[in-house]
Amino acid sequence: MGQITLSGISKNFGAVQVLEGIDLDIRKGELVVFVGPSGCGKSTLLRLIAGLDKPTGGTIAIDGRDVTPVPAADRGLAMVFQSYALYPHMSVRQNMAFGLENAHLPRPEIDARIAEASRMLEIAKLLDRRPGQLSGGQRQRVAIGRAIVRNPTAFLLDEPLSNLDAELRVSMRAELAALHQRLGTTMVYVTHDQVEAMTLADRIVVLRAGRIEQVDTPLALFNAPANVFVAGFIGAPNMNFIQGVVRGPVEGGVAVTAFDGRVVPVDAAAGALAPGDAVTLGVRPHHLRRVGPDEGLPVTVHLVEALGAETVVHGRTAEGQRILAVLAGQEPLASGDVIALAFERRQTHAFDKDGLRVAGN
């Protein structure tokens, strides 16, 4: 149980269209992450699924039943809010019991569920405290606990980790992943942090300006981004983009003029690109290698970030194009140095003038 189907969902706030033409099938037991820049409509979409808002158009089905007109309380879903939204005047135990009491569950059943969830989340010792007496991480656990005891068909989580410090966020992320494994319940998780999306998701839904840009597994998104937006959004640091023009066909692809007249071969399906077409080449910073002076693209170093295991180089080409490279190991570089960088043909992406991906592996 826990399959959620969105068909043709749109949402307007007054005259402002916030979501448009959302079709999505969330499978039973899946952990789906909505990711996208701030304001793209992630929370709105989650709230539509929750039933806290009603869509302007389209339908929402849970396990095949159309729940579009069904109020939030009767959808069998549980939500974890970004602010946790714990009832400040109730103890942790009362916070967890509240929804179950509303459903008139027998007291022993309520106590058993709270005991089970608080053991799982290691908050048994906090049960008689109030939210105001808990740390941020503990409140987060209580908020998750309050969702778990409801035994929902799916969990909805809206940026649940964004109020935690960096260290805690990483450990809670791992715990959430483990929790999902253990419960096997469908989870819909909203974040603007693509690293969080990559590490947690079974599938990622990339949203931009109220539309779905791409839905796929984390690695598929990384390896084959559908368009420039996804390519730039997924993967850290961001992909380098270079403008170029198609010169003509080569074996298995086309040759592209870029970088001050240099010619770069890229893989492309026959007919996808014609000579004279403008293209955007995309190369990930990790895919740039340092080579001998005459074997690659000359780049002037502007800033070096030596992280120990790798060296992040911010540089510019002769034409002023910004390039970010992540080189393995420690490189003795300084600002002003000129280095040569090369990249593999199969790791070079190309996007047409509409931003759609036409080449790359």
Ligand X SMILES: Nc1ncnc2c1ncn2[C@@H]1O[C@H](COP(=O)(O)OP(=O)(O)O)[C@@H](O)[C@H]1O
CA dist 267 → 219, 249, 255, 355, 360 (Å)? 20, 10, 9, 17, 6
Q: Which is nearer to Mg ion, 18 or 273 (CB)?
A: 18
Q: How far is the CB of 232 from ligand X (least distance, A)?
A: 17
Residue 191 touching Mg ion (CB under 5 A): no
Q: How far is the CB of 102 from other proteins (least distance, A)?
A: 5
CB of 163 to other proteins, least distance (A): 13
Distance separating alpha carbons of residues 90 and 146, to the nearest angstrom: 12
Tell me whether residue 160 or residue 360 sits nearer to Mg ion (CB atom).
160
Nearest distance from C-beta of residue 46 to Mg ion, angstroms? 8
- Can you give the C-alpha Rg of the chain in angstroms? 25
**Per-residue string for binding with Mg ion, 42-61, x by CB under 5 A?**
-x------------------
Residues 6+ apart with CB under 8 A from 341: 288, 289, 290, 291, 296, 297, 299, 323, 325
Distance CA 23, CA 6 (A): 5
Which partner, other proteins, Mg ion, ligand X, none, binds residue 344 by CB below 5 to 8 Å per kind? none
Q: Which residue has the tokens 């770069």?
A: 264
Number of residues in contact with Mg ion under rule CB under 5 A: 1
* Nearer to ligand X (CB atom), residue 39 or residue 136: 39
| Residue 286 CB coordination number (10 Å) | 17
201/113 Cα distance (integer angstroms):
27
- Which of residues 40 and 339 has its CB atom nearest to ligand X in the complex? 40
* Footprint on this chain of ligand X (rule: CB under 6 A): 13, 16, 18, 36, 38-44
**With CB under 5 A as the contact rule, which of the stretches 40-48, 61-69, 334-342, 346-354 interacts with Mg ion?**
40-48
Please count the other Cβ atoms lying within 10 Å of the Cβ belonging to residue 268: 21
Nearer to ligand X, 42 or 75 (CB): 42
